[in-house]
């Protein structure tokens, strides 16, 4: 079985860990403090098998600015990144910081996942998509797909899995 490494990136509390739980059925938060505070502090790891038969190892990175060193450790070796942006907040400081780090480190495959899309009206969602597109200009995600999801309701998960699988097949 061939393996790829998929990682998350994005602002604190934008739903990175919840997205991974929706994709894999497993939580990557292990520490009691992470569970109590509802934020990732350490890197989280899990995996899931793609329709093509490849196994996707998952690295869930913390979004808080105080844990940027942990984020840096997590992005090394990523084949694909899921830049997570919460639809109810849009692009935030750590979104931009994580994107800059990914660019500097030469990560060049990935897409944007708009989490919490079930919490906003369609008109707002379109405004957030446009904001994301503008913020991705000049980066490796400039022409990347933007997939709206609801990690709690499961909507959009098939599309995310399919896109990860398509990119994974290109990596061969």
- 16 catalytic residue (yes or no): yes
131 labelled catalytic: no
Q: Does residue 115 have an active-site annotation? A: no
Phi, psi of 115 (to 5 degrees): -80, 170
3-state secondary structure (DSSP) of residue 3: strand
Q: How many CB atoms lie within 10 A of CB 143?
A: 10
Task: Point out the catalytic residue in the list 11, 13, 60, 116.
Answer: 13
β-bridge pairing 3-10 and 44-49:
unpaired
* 3 catalytic per annotation: no
From the candidates 8, 17, 18, 115, which is the catalytic residue? 17
Q: Which residues contact 50 (CB under 8 A, 6 or more apart)?
A: 56, 161, 164, 165, 168
Q: How many CB atoms lie within 10 A of CB 123?
A: 7
For residue 8, what are its two tokens?
A: 């998350």
Q: Contact 59/36 with Cβ under 8 angstroms?
A: no
Please identify which of the residues 8, 11, 14, 16 carries the catalytic annotation.
16
Q: Out of 64, 118, 161, 165, pick the active-site residue.
A: 64
> Which sequence positions are flagged as catalytic?
13, 16-17, 64
């Amino acid at each position: 079985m061939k393996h790829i490494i998929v990682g998350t990136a994005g602002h604190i509390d934008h739903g990175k860990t919840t997205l991974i739980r929706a994709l894999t059925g497993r939580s990557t938060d292990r520490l009691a403090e992470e569970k109590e505070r509802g934020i990732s502090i350490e890197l989280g790891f899990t995996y899931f098998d793609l329709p093509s038969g490849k196994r996707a190892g998952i690295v869930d990175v913390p979004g808080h600015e105080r844990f940027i060193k942990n984020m840096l450790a997590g992005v090394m070796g990523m084949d694909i990144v899921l830049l997570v942006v919460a639809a109810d907040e849009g692009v935030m400081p750590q979104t931009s910081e994580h994107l800059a780090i990914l660019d500097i480190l030469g990560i060049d495959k990935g897409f944007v996942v708009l989490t919490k899309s079930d919490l906003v009206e369609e008109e707002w969602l379109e405004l957030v998509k446009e904001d994301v597109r503008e913020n991705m200009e000049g980066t490796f995600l400039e022409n990347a797909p933007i997939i709206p999801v609801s990690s709690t309701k499961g909507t959009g998960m098939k599309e995310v899995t399919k896109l990860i699988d398509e990119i994974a097949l290109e990596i061969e």
